[in-house]
Amino acid sequence: MKVKVIKWISRVVNILLVAIFLFTFALVISNLMSEGNPKVFGQELKVVYSGSMEPEIKTGAVIGIKPEFDVRNLKEGDVIMFQQRENHFVTHRIIEVLNNDGQLMFRTKGDNNEFADTNAVIPANIYGVHDGINIPYIGYAMDFANSKFGLVALMFIPGFWLLFSSGKTIYTALKEEKEKKKRANTETVENVS
């Protein structure tokens, strides 16, 4: 009974390691092919670093941002990613569409913020529109996987573990086969005597 439980646990661990390995491999390939911006179904995957959109979008979530959109179709309630200042992007909800002498502008607010953002967002600063993908907490794993140490840990540790596990399985099978042959030879010698 104890051996069956150990084998079952070993299989579950192996399946999890293969899943981590494949996920990391897919993430790395996606990053390489899309120049650092992994894409799924035409949406760039971005990590959320603040809680301004909670509870809908959690801190550490991975969200999909659609970079191709028509600014004229944006409306109240849409969630957009925009550049607030150089190298600083924010994801907030449009609470008002403004038309300032023919110039479209958008008043935004984080769902979890008390007040609206100070400055209205102009179309040129909008990076994309949030479009459906929202996976809580996986952003932490994605950031870890994108680091050098994370890449090594998530690619090589499961790989070495799988090699070790496979080697152990092969060794056990060869040992059992050797014992079978030894028993068969012993039985043959006893039958001959």
CATH code of the domain containing 60: 2.10.109.10
Amino acid 9 reads: I
Looking at the structure of the chain, the number of domains it has is: 2
DSSP states along 34-86: TTT--EETTEEEEE--SSTTTTTS-TT-EEEEE----GGG--TT-EEEEEEET
* Cβ–Cβ under 8 Å, residues 121 and 108: yes
Domain co-membership, 44 together with 92: yes
Domain co-membership, 155 together with 127: no
Domain co-membership, 65 together with 123: yes
Positions in the chain whose pLDDT score sits under 50: none
The predicted structure's pLDDT at residue 181: 79
The predicted structure's pLDDT at residue 192: 58
Domain co-membership, 97 together with 121: yes
Domain co-membership, 44 together with 115: yes
Q: Which of 106, 85, 91, 16 is nearest to 47 (CA)?
A: 91
Element (H, E) at 103: strand 103-109
* Cβ–Cβ under 8 Å, residues 31 and 54: no
Domain-located, residue 190: no
Q: How many CA atoms lie within 13 A of 179 on its CB side?
A: 6
Q: How far apart are CA 24 and CA 145, in angstroms?
A: 7
* Domain carrying residue 52: 38-136
Neighbours of 189 (CB within 10 A): 9
Q: How far apart are CA 23 and CA 6, in angstroms?
A: 26
| CA-angle at 186, arms to 180 and 187, nearest 5° | 90
Exposure string for 137-163, b = 16+ CB within 10 A, e = fewer:
eebebbeebbeeeebeebbeebeebee
> Exactly one of 50, 52, 165, 166 is catalytic; which is it?
50
Active site residue 166: no
Domain co-membership, 125 together with 42: yes
The predicted structure's pLDDT at residue 128: 92
Domain-located, residue 185: no
